[in-house]
Structure 1
């Protein structure tokens, strides 16, 4: 059985990113404890505690930009933290990396970007999971999108993904569940992964981006399944 932890990254046209992304990590049940312990150990090293709170959350954008609980930490230290978390993702046996990126400005109705991104993500997650292995989705709670995702997923379960060549969902089961990211180390890893993925779609420039890119060299973060649409 797999648990898929996912997050969304909204488009920010004002900063040069026109894609709306949904993606994350599908983790085999037997690997969850190992990954949790690894992130918790890093939390104890960085924050001096293993408690799960807002103050001990590995929030990628806060870490990268030196905000929130990372305010005042040197850039090199913050980059190293992201790289260490990325290494955990890249070296985790059996973990599937999946995302969908929707280019808003090419849609007839840009407001549908979130709906399309989630649908393509669910479809690609279904394709990434080995047949006969069930998978449950857990997302970072966003009150704006949670209700829509639950409704959409229910429809996908009944009728398949909403395309002419859509697929039936057999592995991805139940409903969509949500949790605050500071309560889940695995959601924090999904946040780190999607922050790195979103960097490929614009929005960040300069020496900090170059430094992070260098720190990530040699780490396998290639997506097992992904979708970019429209082309």
Structure 2
């Protein structure tokens, strides 16, 4: 069994790219991986408890806001480095979908909403990996109140119809039961998904090379993850 976690970013007029995705964890390694992430959390927060006060958020860590307000830049950057080491040393597969929302909307007369399309595509990517390793999976997402119901209904329909509705749609039979949603402060794995999506959203479509020290360091953490050979990003359209 694999546990599949995903989060997403928010596109804006200044950033038309919508990212969704995360990581897949073999259940046999879940306890070991949880201990590693708990140690990373303890090193930064002084506590490993799963509360909103001890939650990793990529945006807040990078900008020194929220839970990271007042923390030294070196300490904040170290979290990105530690997560990059966690992903690469354990050869954790990362799957992401990048949707250029402006191009998507201009290409289709009736474009599917970015979240709905992105979720469908990332479920396909998870199933591709599960086919490769001949295993089953459970899917967990960050709780978004306005998306949960439609996501669960869509997933149920894809399974009952035998495949996703794209022209090259694929079956999702390796994903069991439903899509489970929980608040990210209740799951370190969802928090890792948050950091992965944040780094991808920040650096995959960057127009110029990073110049500030912390920008270079976090970009290097992302490049290290990509260099592991376990990252696949689907771009749409």
Normalising by structure 1, we get a TM-score of 0.90
Moved more, 199-208 or 140-149: 199-208
Give the CA deviation at 1:210. Answer: 2.3
Give the CA deviation at 1:170. Answer: 2.3
Change in 2 beyond 3 A, CA 1:216/1:165:
closer
Change in 2 beyond 3 A, CA 1:163/1:70:
same
* Structure 1: tracts of 5 or more residues without a match: none
Q: Match for residue 187 of structure 1?
A: 190
CA contact (8 A) 1:86 1:192 kept: no
Distance 2:170 2:126 in 1: 11
Give the CA deviation at 1:216. Answer: 4.7
* Structure 2: tracts of 5 or more residues without a match: none
Q: Match for residue 3 of structure 2?
A: 3
Give the CA deviation at 1:45. Answer: 1.8
Alignment equivalent of 2:102, drawn from 88, 105, 108 = 105
CA-atom RMSD in angstroms: 2.1
Q: Match for residue 115 of structure 1?
A: 116
Point out 4+ residue stretches in structure 1 off by more than 6 angstroms: none
Q: Match for residue 84 of structure 1?
A: 82
Task: Show the 5 A alignment for 1:160-175.
Answer: 160-175=163-178
Alignment equivalent of 1:212, drawn from 212, 218, 224 = 218
Change in 2 beyond 3 A, CA 1:146/1:222:
farther
Change in 2 beyond 3 A, CA 1:67/1:45:
same
Distance 2:22 2:58 in 1: 13
Q: Match for residue 64 of structure 1?
A: 62
Distance 1:5 1:80 in 2: 23
CA contact (8 A) 1:97 1:224 kept: yes
Distance 2:147 2:96 in 1: 17
Distance 1:79 1:12 in 2: 25
Give the CA deviation at 1:8. Answer: 1.0
Give the CA deviation at 1:209. Answer: 2.3
Give the CA deviation at 1:61. Answer: 1.0
Alignment equivalent of 1:38, drawn from 36, 39, 42 = 36
CA deviation profile, 1:90-145 (whole Å, cap 9, x unmatched)? 2224x321111111111235661111111111111110113541101000111121
CA contact (8 A) 1:96 1:223 kept: yes
Task: Show the 5 A alignment for 1:15-30.
Answer: 17-30=15-28
Alignment equivalent of 1:53, drawn from 39, 48, 51 = 51
Change in 2 beyond 3 A, CA 1:163/1:68:
same
1:13 aligns with 2:13: yes
Change in 2 beyond 3 A, CA 1:218/1:97:
closer
Normalising by structure 2, we get a TM-score of 0.88
